[in-house]
Amino acid sequence: MRWKKIADSDEVLIFEKKISHGSVRIEARNLDEGWQIIKKYDIKDEDYVEEYFAESLDERNKILLTILEQPDLSYEQISLLRMEQRKKIVMNLERIYKESNIEKWVFSVNGNVVKNFVIVRFNGSTTMDIVLSDDYRHLEKQIVRELLKSLGINEDKECFYGVYFYTKKRNYLIEDEISSSIKTKLDSE
């Protein structure tokens, strides 16, 4: 089936399509701070929601284009994702860096070897940058909640956080010209 545009205004953009086991709806809503984008699968007895956020109209359009081109999830995939969301998250946290007002923690989720990390800054308010493997996108809310609880950060106080996802991990060696010329000079002696 093809996507059908249901609504298009300055405040909201909605697409919908029927699939063999139900329907899929994408809503982009203009909020004060940007665009909230929701992709909702309405399938038999299972609902599944993916949420995205865009700070600008350009970013909204890029996200929408990506979502519209993605293959639809099957009923079985949605059932598995929903079961995983219902499970309690077990997190292994390890602090690897601490200064007076900044900490860096690495963590794994449910015993997986995939490493994620969070950088926490304390400047009157608390700011967190959370970097997760894309494999955990569907568990984002539970992971953030568990991180706040594990790190003893009170959500009622002023707390800001950004969640970033990565798909692959690569290691790069970058040498500057000075190091390279010193190494060359030493090798030639």
Give the model's pLDDT for residue 160: 87
Asked if residue 81 lies in contact with residue 48, where contact means CB atoms within 8 angstroms, the answer is yes
Give the model's pLDDT for residue 183: 54
Question: Can you read off the two tokens belonging to residue 18?
Answer: 């029927």
What are the b/e assignments for 143-156, b being 16+ CB within 10 Å? bbebbbeebeeeee
- For residue 158, report the phi and psi dihedrals to the nearest 5 degrees: -70, 110
Give the model's pLDDT for residue 188: 55
Asked if residue 28 lies in contact with residue 8, where contact means CB atoms within 8 angstroms, the answer is no
What percent of the chain lies above the pLDDT cut of 70?
87
User: Residue 78 — very low, low, confident or very high, per pLDDT cuts 50/70/90?
Assistant: confident
How many residues are recorded in the chain? 189
Instruction: State yes or no: pLDDT of 136 exceeds 90.
Output: no
Question: Can you read off the two tokens belonging to residue 108?
Answer: 């794994």
pTM confidence score: 0.58
